[in-house]
């Protein structure tokens, strides 16, 4: 269980909410977690249970079925899911896709999608990355050609979280390929639209229970009314939402690193070598002390970033720095924790193996950590 005694980002209401989230995860997630990992996808029943528990899109306005809460509640969910060792795509829906619909959607779009996203009846995804385009969003090749009152979308996307489960996808597409970044728009595509197809559930190193897919668009026709916000403003919208997306990754990374440390500490106190617990060796104590120090710094910084974001002051450079630092730290901590497990750490029956596998991608998605350093350098 995460220790909240020294935290300063949350208040009593957040604490009560955290308690309810923990109880829900103990009831609905933990008994099914291994099955979700084996099947490579989280059941829709779990999504509905999250909706029933108020764990989906808590900061969506009550006008659209949400609770109208601050990002601190999103962070509570992110932390508890990560600490449980789950890679379910709930944070994507809570912290990213719902934000796009709420911030840029028309009233009709908000009424159509947000209540069902809150209840778990509608699972969402966002499709940006392409087979030949990663962090460089300006190089997107998927097109949305206007034909009367409709867009005709053609292209392919990959590494799409929630891709197999998604009922609606926010698609980043070029509505005017000749304008570069100013020609990019965001368009809502329902999964039952003719011409839309899902590829395979991708075989990943980690995040096994997070369904991640290729998506294909072959003359997919949608109304112009499905566009989010203004035509050509997609790149600006993506940039505007980066602080929350990257803070979300940092939050999950910190909690997962804490779980790795806790697993290692429990293991070395229980396992013996040469007649004494592994914990008693100086190397073990020094390694754990190093990990503990890094986590202490991480929690203090994360709370600072969460409070700053709730106040509307967290900058893109600050959020990028947080994503880079916390994900790098997560990778260091999980690797050190696995090493302390010895050979057992390489066995999938131990949670540390899953935490170690899942950590690697956090330095890649949401913008690679090399890109994060580039973003930070531009603020100097």
By DSSP bridging, strand 227-228 and strand 276-277 are unpaired
CA distance 90 to 55: 8
Task: DSSP for 56-92, please give it.
Answer: S-TTS-GGGTS----HHHHHHHHHHHHHHT---SHHH
Tokens 């109208």 locate to: 68
- Report the interhelical angle of 12-28 vs 44-52 (nearest 10°): 150
**Rounded Cα–Cα distance for residues 57 and 117 (Å):** 7
Torsion angles phi and psi, residue 42, rounded to 5: -95, 140
Q: Considering only CA atoms, which of 189, 309, 195 is closest in space to residue 244? A: 309
Q: For the chain, percent helix, then strand, then coil, each to nearest 5?
A: 55, 15, 25
Reported in sequence order, the residue ranges of 242-353 that DSSP labels E, i.e. its strands, are: 272-273, 276-277
Which of 327, 330, 86 shows the shortest CA–CA distance to 338?
A: 330
Bridge-partner residues for 221, per DSSP?
152
| Residue 306 near residue 247 (C-beta atoms within 8 A) | yes
Residue for token digits 């804490």? Answer: 258
Instruction: Name the catalytic one among 130, 245, 263, 318.
Output: 245
- Counting Cα atoms < 13 Å in the Cβ hemisphere of 220 gives 27
SS3 57: coil
Say if residues 232 and 179 touch (Cβ distance below 8 Å). yes
Both tokens of residue 44? 């829709």
Pairing of strands 168-174, 124-127: parallel
Structure-block tokens of residue 284: 């073990």
Does the annotation count 214 as an active-site position?
no
Collect all residues with Cβ–Cβ distance below 8 Å to 295 and sequence separation of at least 6.
254, 257, 258, 261, 329, 333
Catalytic residue positions, numbered: 245
């Amino acid at each position: 269980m995460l220790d909240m005694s020294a935290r300063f980002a949350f208040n009593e209401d957040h604490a009560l909410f955290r308690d309810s989230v923990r109880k829900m995860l103990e009831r609905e997630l933990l008994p099914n977690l291994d099955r979700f990992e084996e099947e490579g996808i989280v059941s829709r029943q779990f999504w509905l249970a999250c909706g029933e528990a108020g764990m989906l899109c808590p900061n969506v306005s009550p006008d659209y079925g949400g609770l109208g809460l601050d990002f601190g509640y999103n962070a509570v969910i992110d932390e508890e899911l990560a600490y449980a060792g789950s890679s379910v795509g709930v944070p994507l829906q809570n912290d990213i896709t719902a934000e796009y619909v709420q911030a840029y959607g028309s009233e009709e779009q908000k009424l159509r999608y947000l209540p069902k996203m809150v209840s778990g009846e509608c699972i969402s995804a966002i499709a940006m990355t392409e087979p030949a385009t990663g962090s460089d969003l300006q190089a997107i090749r998927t097109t949305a050609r206007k034909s009367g009152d409709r867009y005709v979308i053609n292209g392919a996307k990959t590494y799409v979280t929630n891709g197999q489960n998604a009922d609606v996808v926010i698609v980043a597409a070029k509505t005017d390929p000749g304008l570069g970044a100013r020609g990019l728009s965001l368009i809502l595509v329902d999964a039952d639209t003719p011409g839309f197809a899902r590829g395979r559930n991708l075989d990943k190193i980690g995040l096994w229970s997070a369904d991640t897919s290729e998506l294909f668009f072959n003359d997919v026709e949608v109304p112009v009314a499905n566009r989010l916000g203004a035509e050509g403003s997609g790149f600006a919208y993506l940039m505007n939402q980066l602080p929350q997306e990257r803070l979300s990754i940092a939050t999950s990374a910190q909690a997962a690193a804490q779980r790795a440390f806790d697993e290692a500490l429990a293991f070395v106190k229980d396992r013996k070598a040469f007649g004494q617990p592994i914990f008693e060796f100086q190397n073990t104590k020094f390694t754990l002390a190093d990990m503990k120090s890094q986590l202490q710094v991480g929690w203090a910084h994360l709370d600072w970033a969460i409070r700053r974001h709730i106040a509307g002051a967290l900058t893109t450079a600050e959020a990028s720095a947080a994503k880079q630092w916390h994900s790098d730290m997560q990778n260091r901590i999980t690797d050190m924790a696995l090493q302390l497990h010895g050979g057992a750490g390489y066995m999938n029956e131990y949670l540390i193996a899953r935490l170690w596998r899942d950590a690697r991608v956090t330095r890649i998605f949401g913008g690679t950590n090399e890109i994060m350093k580039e973003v930070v350098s531009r603020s100097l």
